[in-house]
Structure 1
Amino acid sequence: MDKFEKLTGIAAPMPLVNIDTDMIIPKVFLKTIKRSGLGANLFDEMRFERDGSEKPDFVLNQPAYREAQILVAGDNFGCGSSREHAPWAIKDFGISCVISTSFADIFFNNCFKNGILPIVLPQEDVDKLMDDASRGANAVITVDLESQTITGPDGGEISFDVDPHRKHCLLNGLDDIGQTLEKAASIDAFESGMANSRPWV
């Protein structure tokens, strides 16, 4: 998993509330277990017409936001089914940070496991960042995980909270497997000890 330390990028505003995982990646695209390729269908029903053409009004289809790396979203983002394909699609598109007033629990947890930083902020702070994100190509903000701060285009700074263990994992690029491998020496010592004391096992 890629490390998340500091991200400076364009923030896209998506004020719609209750964006569920089927809106993020419709169920028709869940036939793969690969984490790559899903970005092409992120928000598919909102991004594209039935004939495959783009809907010009959708934020990620607008020139200023095609390279967005941060999403400022409405309340209760990621609700609905527990599909891990949702954060896979977000990450594959190029978005590594989602900011909202609240997230569905399973989606929130899955973000950390896939190198995405979900940030929960009070409504007034989200409103400020939503306004910043509405500046189009000038909607550049910086998210610094080490200092736990968000810096807007005008230099204003917002602090955020994050669980210390999850922060450690993101800073060091550790998913569940990576966390296990951190203890590889202890695991090897245990296995060696078991092989010597119980060779019949």
Structure 2
Amino acid sequence: MDKFTTLTGIAAPMPLVNIDTDMIIPKQFLKTIKRSGLGVHAFDEMRFDAQGNENPDFVLNKPAYRASQIIVAGDNFGCGSSREHAPWALLDFGIRCVISTSFADIFYNNCFKNGILPITLPQEQVDILMADAEKGANARMTVDLEGQVITTSDGQVIAFEMDAFRKHCLANGLDDIGLTLEKADAIADYEARLAADRPWV
């Protein structure tokens, strides 16, 4: 998993509330267990019409937002079913940070396990960031995980709270497997002692 330290990028404004996991990655694309390749289907039913043509009104199809790495969203982002494909699709599309007033718990937890930083802020601060995102590609905001601050394109600084353990995992690129591998030496020592003490096992 890639480390998350400081991200400066284009933020896409998505003020719609209750963006659920089926909107993020529709059910017909859940047949794979690979984390790669899902980005082309992210927000598929919002990005494309029934004939596969791009919807020019959808924010991520607009020229200013095609390279977005941040989403500023409406309330309750990631609700619905608990599919881990949702953060996989966002990450493969290029999204590394989502900012909202609230997230569904399972989606929120899955983000951290896949290198995406979900940030929860009060509505008035999300409104400031939403307005900044609406300025387009020339308005880049910066998300600093270490300092736990977001800086808008005009220099306004907004602090956010972050659980220390989750912050450690993101900053060091540690998913569940990575956390286990941090204990590789202790695990190997235990296995060696077990083999010596109980050779018949």
TM over 0.5: yes
Amino acid at match of 1:178: G
- Mapping for residues 95-174 of structure 1, pairs under 5 Å: 95-174=95-174
- C-alpha distance in 1, partners of 2:95/2:29? 19
Cross-structure match for 1:194: 194
Cross-structure match for 1:184: 184
- C-alpha distance in 1, partners of 2:86/2:139? 24
Cross-structure match for 2:92: 92
Cross-structure match for 1:14: 14
Cα distance, 1:137 vs. partner? Answer: 1.2
Deviations, residues 151-172 of structure 1 (Å, cap 9, x unaligned):
0000000000111001001000
- C-alpha distance in 2, partners of 1:140/1:192? 52
- C-alpha distance in 1, partners of 2:33/2:184? 27
- Mapping for residues 50-65 of structure 1, pairs under 5 Å: 50-65=50-65
Structure 1 spans left out of the alignment, 5+ residues: none
The secondary structure found in structure 2 opposite 1:185 is helix
Aligned length: 201
Cross-structure match for 1:83: 83
Cα distance, 1:132 vs. partner? Answer: 0.2
Cα distance, 1:138 vs. partner? Answer: 2.0
Moved over 2 A (4+): none
Amino acid at match of 1:36: S
- C-alpha distance in 2, partners of 1:40/1:100? 23
Deviations, residues 88-140 of structure 1 (Å, cap 9, x unaligned):
00000000000000000000000000000000000000000000000011221
Instruction: Give TM-score scaled by structure 2 length.
Output: 0.99
Amino acid at match of 1:177: I
Amino acid at match of 2:66: R
- C-alpha distance in 2, partners of 1:143/1:50? 36
The secondary structure found in structure 2 opposite 1:166 is helix
Structure 2 spans left out of the alignment, 5+ residues: none
Amino acid at match of 2:157: E
Amino acid at match of 2:176: D
Amino acid at match of 1:106: I
- C-alpha distance in 2, partners of 1:137/1:188? 50
The secondary structure found in structure 2 opposite 1:137 is coil
Cross-structure match for 1:73: 73
State the superposition RMSD in angstroms: 0.5
